[in-house]
Amino acid sequence: MDVTKILGEWAAESPPTTSEVALTRARHAIHDVIACMVAGAGDEGSARVRATIAPYGGGRCTVFGSTAKAAAPWAALANGMAAHALDFDDNYMPGLTHASAVLIPALLPLAEEIDATGKQLIDAYIVGLEMHGAIGRGVNRAHYDMGWHGTSTVGCIGTAAACGRLLGLDRDAMVNAISLGVSMASGPKVQFGTMGKPYHAGMAAKNAVLAAQLAANGFQARDVALEGPLGFRDLYAGPDENAWDHLKGTLGDPLAIEEFGLSPKLYPCCGSTHRVLDVVLALRAEHEFEAEDVAKVDALVGFGNKRNLMYDNPQQEMEARFSMNYCIALALKFGRLSLSDFTPDAVQRAEVRELMPLVTMEAYDKDAEGDDPTFRLPHVVKVELKDGRVFEDESQWARGTIHNPFDEADLTAKFRDCCEGFLEKGDYDAAERILLDLGSLGSARGLTQHLVFEAGSDHGERFADRYDTMAAE
């Protein structure tokens, strides 16, 4: 199967969708990730990226967290870092990617450069999401379980196609953009729990912009980069003659955003914790027990999920986002998880740390969930209390998925949580209004002009300080 050509043709020539489901979900996802970009811009890692790109010269593109502008690739790098810095951005099941944290940081600077409309931005986002899913399903789960971070591998390639769509590349140029994206795809999971993990999203966004712009300028590359010998599937997942069968007769019909949707996050931590957290919080509310009543919590999760959660005893906020022990301890102690729980001081709280050893986590066998990344086995939780009572439940779909969805109220509440106090009041109101009707936006610059602010730099203390102020009031 000529996979690279098939995807290039579809990405270049498929007509824009008129599906209200697809358009609404895309608008919601863009709204959500821009909130994450605002909140994440003040993270120390984001500030270090901005400091790194500052000497490279100016441009026309908005850099979240700075009043200085940059050229599109550098803005994409900084904004992708910000989007993923707090691990509060969405998950995308078919690609096993944080799709929006690569797509929008790449597309928004390009949209500013070419003065694209909101409708064009949404169209390119949907095309890119389809590419994330098509490529991700071609290499996963083998790719993911080998230790590759799909956000920065699959994400780079799929987003190169999205950028090509926004630039109006023809079929041949689109194939070159996708092929170049393969050459730029990288990122191992060893970086989880460090600044290197969110940097992957920024790196993928930057590389995607470069791949599309190179292709637009006539740069050529192999047209079998995904499927050929020594190509993406072969090197990053291993040979499989049936790997691309899912493309036959199904690409774009239905669209992946219609069939699978996205999974915006309710909690600012690794998505591998979320189904377990949903269950723990529900059991706590239903049976009205407190942290002091708990003797033990056992969790059963997917093979890849357990590997992601590599910190049983986290020492700082980046590690804590990838700790089932810490996240469950928060749920038991406070009945919620917030952005203020992920600071160096918060991670060291004695009343939380004393609960962490109560948590054990096991995983299904490696092959239990099969090769299809869209298949899910339920995550199972058992809570044993000191008085001998035992409560058990499971969740197959986390809050935020299309099976257990957010609504507009959830979306606006999260936007407020991420953006209030960082954007000026007038800009906050204008950005929210535009994002709620993004398809009518005449120029991307009409949105980004309201997303210019100086973020500073800390380890999450800005959220703790804000919550302390709100509590005092």
Q: Phi and psi at residue 185, in whole multiples of 5°?
A: -80, 125
Q: What whole-number distance in Å separates Cα of residue 338 and Cα of residue 433?
A: 25
Which residue type, as a one-letter code, is found at position 32? D
- Contact at 8 Å (CB) between 456 and 124? no
This prediction has a pTM of 0.97
Taking only the tens place, the pLDDT of each residue in 82-134 is 999 999 999 999 999 999 999 999 999 999 999 999 999 999 999 999 999 99
Q: What whole-number distance in Å separates Cα of residue 378 and Cα of residue 302?
A: 8
Taking only the tens place, the pLDDT of each residue in 210-236 is 999 999 999 999 999 999 999 999 999
Q: What whole-number distance in Å separates Cα of residue 83 and Cα of residue 89?
A: 7
pLDDT level of residue 472 (50, 70, 90 thresholds): low
pLDDT of residue 465: 86
Q: What whole-number distance in Å separates Cα of residue 365 and Cα of residue 206?
A: 36
Taking only the tens place, the pLDDT of each residue in 3-40 is 999 999 999 999 999 999 999 999 999 999 999 999 99
Please give the structure tokens belonging to residue 365: 């066998």
**271-395 is a CATH 3.30.1330.120 domain:** yes
pLDDT level of residue 209 (50, 70, 90 thresholds): very high
Rg (CA), the chain: 21
Examine the pLDDT at 471 and tell me if it is beyond 70: no
pLDDT mean across residues, the chain: 96
Going from N- to C-terminal start, the domains of the chain cover 3-259, 271-395
Examine the pLDDT at 77 and tell me if it is beyond 80: yes
Q: What whole-number distance in Å separates Cα of residue 376 and Cα of residue 271?
A: 13
Alpha helices in 185-231 (DSSP H): 196-216
pLDDT of residue 126: 98
Q: What whole-number distance in Å separates Cα of residue 306 and Cα of residue 299?
A: 10
- Contact at 8 Å (CB) between 54 and 65? no
DSSP string, 312-352: SS--SHHHHTT-HHHHHHHHHHHSS--GGG-SHHHHT-HHH
Please give the structure tokens belonging to residue 464: 């703790």
pLDDT of residue 346: 97
Please give the structure tokens belonging to residue 461: 């203390």
Q: Please give the C-alpha separations between residue 130 and each of 17, 136, 185, 257, 292, in angstroms, as whole numbers.
A: 12, 10, 18, 7, 47
Nearby residues of 379 by Cβ (< 8 Å), 6 or more positions away: 275, 276, 279, 299, 300, 301, 302, 305, 394, 395, 396
| DSSP assignment letter at 189 | G
Examine the pLDDT at 469 and tell me if it is beyond 80: no
Please give the structure tokens belonging to residue 49: 């990226």
Q: What whole-number distance in Å separates Cα of residue 101 and Cα of residue 97?
A: 9
Beta strands in 24-179 (DSSP E): 61-62, 69-70
Taking only the tens place, the pLDDT of each residue in 410-435 is 888 999 999 998 999 999 999 999 99
Q: Please give the C-alpha separations between residue 133 and each of 66, 71, 128, 155, 248, in angstroms, as whole numbers.
A: 33, 28, 9, 9, 14
pLDDT of residue 470: 58
Percent share of the chain, pLDDT over 90: 95
pLDDT of residue 250: 79
pLDDT of residue 380: 98
Looking up tokens 């507009």 gives 408
Taking only the tens place, the pLDDT of each residue in 375-407 is 999 999 999 999 999 999 999 999 999 999 988
User: Average of pLDDT values for 155-182?
Assistant: 98
- Contact at 8 Å (CB) between 8 and 171? yes
- Contact at 8 Å (CB) between 50 and 63? yes
Beta strands in 220-349 (DSSP E): 294-301
Length reported for the chain? 473
- Contact at 8 Å (CB) between 58 and 109? no
Q: What whole-number distance in Å separates Cα of residue 247 and Cα of residue 251?
A: 5
- Contact at 8 Å (CB) between 85 and 40? yes
Domain boundaries 3-259, corresponding CATH code: 1.10.4100.10
pLDDT of residue 408: 81
Taking only the tens place, the pLDDT of each residue in 321-374 is 999 999 999 999 999 999 999 999 999 999 999 999 999 999 999 999 999 999
pLDDT of residue 21: 97
